[in-house]
Chains A and B, each alone.
Chain A
Amino acid sequence: MRYWLTRLGAAILLLLAVSMLTFGAMNILGDPLFNILGPVARDTSNPRSVELIEQAKAQYHLDDPLPIRYVLWLSDFVRGDFGVQFSEDGQPPVADLITERAPRTLALLIMAQVMAIAVAIPWALWSASRANSTADKVSTVGAFLVIAIPEFALAVIFSYIFGIRLGWFPLTYTADTSLGERFHALLLPAITLAIPICAVYQRLLRTDLITTLQEDFILTARAKGVSRRSILFRHALRPSMFSFVTIVAITSGALIGGALVVENIFIIPGLGRAIVEAILREDFPVVLTIVMIVALAFVLLNLIVDMIYSIIDPRVRR
């Protein structure tokens, strides 16, 4: 129990640090007044402009020192008030943007992970049971090559082969279509994301499986007359999953970066695209919010990994 509390405390500390850094960076390096008012902010000769400027300053506490602005922002944030999108007409709340965009990114990430895991596990089992055979060596080289390809390159190649030449997938995502069509539009981007991480997973799991297969208890299972298949699936797989689980969780974080790139290539209106657009427009409430959400996801993932560990490995249970 105490362990979990400390973890929680550390996680919160981490999130605070992340938010401070981002908030500080945006306010120091950017110009919030300009964001809100546009060119009006520079127009100090015009009395009407000056009035608007004063108004904005009061509304957003821009004259207060940075720490106070931070605290104010934080207190709003934890209550769910993410501020408004400065750069959009009418300045709609950031929360709207998030709820609109987030599901697509989430769908993309989940699809990619599911596909990668679904392929990596059988692949790893297959190669571990044939370790060092020719087929396995070929597959190992293949996995190695795949890992070396950057996502954007893969995205370009795939959209060429499957989008342009074969026409199996649409090249962009349209929001107003049916669920099936939207799902279809997300497939190619998800596959693009899934392939490199699938290779990473497979490499790791294969290594762990091979190590586990050398353990004494596998010999015991063999001496009991258990079939090769059963040995792989029921005896060797579970003890080999520890690093696998960790890396899946870690990769989920890295995937977010990959999703960013892929969203921009396939023009999918998700969080990745949103943050890029927001950064280019210096719309920092949006940037700040999305960064915080991603950081939160990161931290949560780590906690989940620890929890899963304690379930899978009975030796670790508290």
Chain B
Amino acid sequence: MTNMSAHMEHDQEALFADIGHIPVHDANAPVRRTLGIAFWICVAWLVVIILAAILAPWLPIKDPDENIILRNGERPPYPPSSDFWFGSDQDARDMFSRVIWGARTSLTIGFVAIAFGFLFGGTMGLLSGYFRGRTDGIVSFVFLVLLSFPALILAILITSLLDRSLTTISLVLGVLAVAPVGRVARATTVSFADREFVMASKALGAKHPRILVRELLPNVVIPMSALALLGIGVAIVAEGGLAFLGLSVQEGSTWGKLILFGSGSRVLREAPWISFIPIAVLFLTVLALNFAGDRLRSHFDVKESAL
């Protein structure tokens, strides 16, 4: 055999290995590592929404619960105008400020739910992926049970049995997030736990907590940040679903409740903006979260997994 192996790794070989197939794309073009302008636009939108939500009490907007009847004698609901940027609802409340105040609750639910899910699910996943064996068996079974409930039914069940406060709803959605997040955390941990740097750490005598915190956690957290963004979007939408079943928070308004309020067939016929504007804001926010999450994910090259 002629000795050609010295040249086997030439990069041209890799280039040509692809040739001749029904082509898609220059498969060896350098993977674009930049996040792109679209990503930053999404981030900008999210920042705007979050800031508006946090600063709501201090912003120069109308009171979301105040019924503001216009003096020209027209009856509510008022379409969008210079008085009401987003129009008003049937009770003459300003939609613009309602949407902002709704953001406060919706976003809070989203963030708390995911934070909870990541805290518990992430930890469980990390531990089960690292220790394997019986821990893994038990945790995986728990995940499986949680996943066997169609999410919404579990949410409905618990919110109906307990109260419907902001805390409860957020925590219920958080519990629902535990299993999907946990599974991804576990898979990611498993893929890292077999790598050399972990073994090296062990060989140096590091104890479990140290390895977990110093070596694995940073590596697992980074790809999962993309999942977090996607998860927040899912949680916000889930809240919307609950609202449509009449099971969202009792106090205050959320985007879901706003949409519901404007969705009766009569209201929809006369004043579609009452429902459509919160829908648009919700849609853009979820889109921004999805896109940003997707971008981050391809940036960190995590394997696909369904939330």
Report A's interface with B, CB cutoff 8 A.
14-15, 17-18, 21-22, 25-26, 29-30, 131-132, 144-145, 147-153, 156-157, 159-160, 163-164, 171, 210, 213-216, 218-219, 222, 228, 231, 247, 250, 253-254, 256-257, 260-261, 264-265, 275-276, 279-280, 282, 287, 290-291, 294-295, 298-299
Q: Of A150, A163, A290, which is within 8 A of B265 by CB?
A: A163
List the 6 shortest-distance A-B pairs measured between CB atoms, nearest first. Answer: A257-B152, A29-B161, A150-B237, A279-B160, A148-B287, A153-B279
Q: Of B22, B275, B283, which is within 8 A of A148 by CB?
A: B283
**B282 touching A298, Cβ below 8 Å:** no
Q: List 27 A-B contacts (CB under 8 A).
A: A14-B144, A15-B148, A21-B145, A29-B162, A30-B161, A132-B25, A147-B290, A148-B283, A150-B283, A150-B286, A152-B244, A153-B282, A159-B263, A164-B269, A219-B21, A222-B20, A250-B306, A256-B150, A260-B156, A261-B241, A261-B244, A261-B245, A276-B246, A279-B157, A279-B160, A295-B148, A295-B149
**B263 touching A156, Cβ below 8 Å:** yes
Contacts of A291 in B (CB 8 A): 149, 153, 157
Docked CA distance A290–B246 (Å):
19
Q: How far is the CB of B91 from chain A (nearest CB, A)?
A: 19
Question: By CB atoms of chain A within 10 A, which of B27, B148, B260 has the most?
Answer: B148
**A257 touching B150, Cβ below 8 Å:** yes
Q: Which residue of A lies closest to B280 (CB)?
A: A153
Q: How far is the CB of B167 from chain A (nearest CB, A)?
A: 16
Please classify the interface of chain A as helix (H, G, I), strand (E, B), loop, or mixed, using the class held by over half of its residues: helix
Docked CA distance A89–B158 (Å):
26
Contacts of A260 in B (CB 8 A): 150, 152-153, 156, 241, 245
Docked CA distance A164–B275 (Å):
14
> Contacts A148-B286, A156-B263; is A214 near B27 (CB within 8 Å)?
yes
Q: How far is the CB of B299 from chain A (nearest CB, A)?
A: 17
Q: How far is the CB of B271 from chain A (nearest CB, A)?
A: 11
Docked CA distance A150–B268 (Å):
18
Question: Could you say which interface size class chain B belongs to?
Answer: 35 or more
> Contacts A261-B245, A265-B244; is A160 near B152 (CB within 8 Å)?
no
> Contacts A18-B145, A30-B161; is A164 near B265 (CB within 8 Å)?
yes
With an 8 A cutoff between CB atoms, is B240 at the interface? yes
Docked CA distance A151–B160 (Å):
22
Q: Of B18, B160, B268, B269, which is within 8 A of A214 by CB?
A: B18
With an 8 A cutoff between CB atoms, is B272 at the interface? yes
Contacts of A298 in B (CB 8 A): 148, 150
**A160 touching B268, Cβ below 8 Å:** yes
For the complex with contacts A144-B291, A160-B272, A295-B149, 16 further pairs of A-B residues with Cβ separation under 8 Å are A29-B162, A131-B25, A151-B241, A163-B265, A219-B20, A219-B21, A256-B153, A260-B152, A261-B152, A264-B244, A265-B244, A276-B245, A279-B160, A280-B246, A287-B157, A295-B148
**A18 touching B148, Cβ below 8 Å:** yes
Docked CA distance A22–B283 (Å):
33
Question: By CB atoms of chain A within 10 A, which of B21, B160, B282, B291 has the most?
Answer: B160
With an 8 A cutoff between CB atoms, is B119 at the interface? no
Q: How far is the CB of B278 from chain A (nearest CB, A)?
A: 9
Q: How far is the CB of B161 from chain A (nearest CB, A)?
A: 4
Question: By CB atoms of chain B within 10 A, which of A14, A219, A276 has the most?
Answer: A276
**B24 touching A213, Cβ below 8 Å:** yes
Please classify the interface of chain B as helix (H, G, I), strand (E, B), loop, or mixed, using the class held by over half of its residues: helix
Q: Which residue of A lies closest to B289 (CB)?
A: A148
Contacts of A157 in B (CB 8 A): 276, 279
**A152 touching B241, Cβ below 8 Å:** yes
With an 8 A cutoff between CB atoms, is B232 at the interface? no
Q: How far is the CB of A139 from chain B (nearest CB, A)?
A: 15
Q: How far is the CB of A244 from chain B (nearest CB, A)?
A: 13
Contacts of B56 in A (CB 8 A): none
With an 8 A cutoff between CB atoms, is B151 at the interface? yes
Docked CA distance A29–B161 (Å):
6
With an 8 A cutoff between CB atoms, is B220 at the interface? no
**B287 touching A25, Cβ below 8 Å:** no
Contacts of A22 in B (CB 8 A): 157
Contacts of B233 in A (CB 8 A): 148
**B259 touching A156, Cβ below 8 Å:** yes
Docked CA distance A256–B153 (Å):
9
Contacts of B156 in A (CB 8 A): 260, 275-276, 279
Contacts of B286 in A (CB 8 A): 148-150
Q: Of B162, B246, B279, B306, which is within 8 A of A156 by CB?
A: B279
Contacts of B263 in A (CB 8 A): 156, 159, 265
Q: Which residue of B lies closest to A148 (CB)?
A: B287
Q: Which residue of B lies closest to A163 (CB)?
A: B265
**A18 touching B149, Cβ below 8 Å:** yes
Q: Which residue of B lies closest to A290 (CB)?
A: B153
Docked CA distance A299–B149 (Å):
10
Q: Mark B233-254, 1 if CB is under 8 A from A, else 0.
A: 1000100110111110000000
